[in-house]
Amino acid sequence: MANTSIRGRGAGSPGRRSLSAAARAAARRTERADRSGPGTAVVSSRTLRAREEPGAQAPPPEPDWEAPDWEGPEGAPPGRRRTALLVALAVLLVAGAVALALLVRAYADGRGTDRARAEAAQAAREAAPVVLSYDHRRLEKDFAAARSRLTGAFRDEYRRTTTSVVAPTAKKYRGVVKASVVEPPDGGAPAVSVVSASPDRAVVLLFVNQVTTSTQVSGPRVDLNRVRMTLTRTSEGWKVSAVDAL
């Protein structure tokens, strides 16, 4: 029977030599890591070196707040945008109010002008026979009635003319003048036309017949006249402020 001997793991055994070699290798790696300076790490027995490049900057820290999900135009904050919207809305409201006021005024002026045309035409039709007529037997009464239809400087001018010219002539020749606005034979509207009108002023064109009798003529004389009257609204109604024979 063969003599079997068992050899223990001594210093010179292969197992021990393998452990010693591994330890020495690990020590050398650690020594190389120490010599390579900061920034070197040993991972899984391999050396990874992180080199910082010149001029490189560390990334900024993450903010601990969140930006609002919604912003106004051009990055304006919501509060400022709301203020801008309120200002714009106020401007639109003011513009709308102004436009409405202008429309109301235009409408009122239009209605006022239409009313002025009708009133001025009627006033001219009624004033023409009074202003353009007289009778030598009642001059003061006729002239007073005419002046009640007049206003302004024209009233003063009428007084001077009738006093200095018309009255002496009418008395001397027993003059009588009767004026009437022309009316169509079929009974249509009188020959009165409004040339222009505003709420306070109007120009009216009338066709007026004047029948004159005096000692200077053998019989009645008929004059067919075109008369332009300017009328002005006063506190007492529409009054004649000018008369021109055309």
Angle between helices 152-161 and 139-147 in degrees, nearest 10: 170
pLDDT at 241: 97
Within-domain flag for 113 = yes
Within-domain flag for 202 = yes
Q: How far is CA 201 from CA 112, 126, 143, 145, 239, in A?
A: 11, 17, 24, 22, 10
75's CB contacts (< 8 A; 6+ apart) are none
pLDDT at 47: 44
CB atoms within 10 A of CB 146: 21
Within-domain flag for 30 = no
Structure tokens at 112: 């006022």
Within-domain flag for 222 = yes
Measured CA to CA, the distance from residue 90 to residue 100 in angstroms comes to 15
Within-domain flag for 20 = no
Structure tokens at 94: 């003011």
Measured CA to CA, the distance from residue 82 to residue 181 in angstroms comes to 69
- Which of 187, 185, 203, 183 minimizes the C-alpha distance to 195? 203
105: left (phi over 0), alpha (psi -120 to 50) or beta: alpha
pLDDT at 3: 45
Per-residue pLDDT tens, the chain, 246 aa: give them: 444 444 444 444 444 455 556 666 665 665 555 555 544 444 444 444 444 455 555 556 555 545 454 454 555 566 777 788 888 888 888 888 888 777 777 666 666 788 999 999 999 999 999 999 999 999 999 999 999 999 999 999 999 999 999 999 999 999 999 999 998 887 777 889 999 999 999 999 999 999 999 999 889 999 999 999 999 999 999 999 999 998
Structural domain that includes position 195: 102-245
Measured CA to CA, the distance from residue 122 to residue 239 in angstroms comes to 11
Total domain count, the chain: 1
pLDDT at 132: 97
Within-domain flag for 183 = yes
Structure tokens at 187: 């009974």
Within-domain flag for 109 = yes
pLDDT at 76: 56
pLDDT at 84: 81
Within-domain flag for 49 = no
- Do 140 and 159 form a contact (C-beta atoms < 8 A)? no
Q: Residue 218: give its domain's CATH number.
A: 3.10.450.230
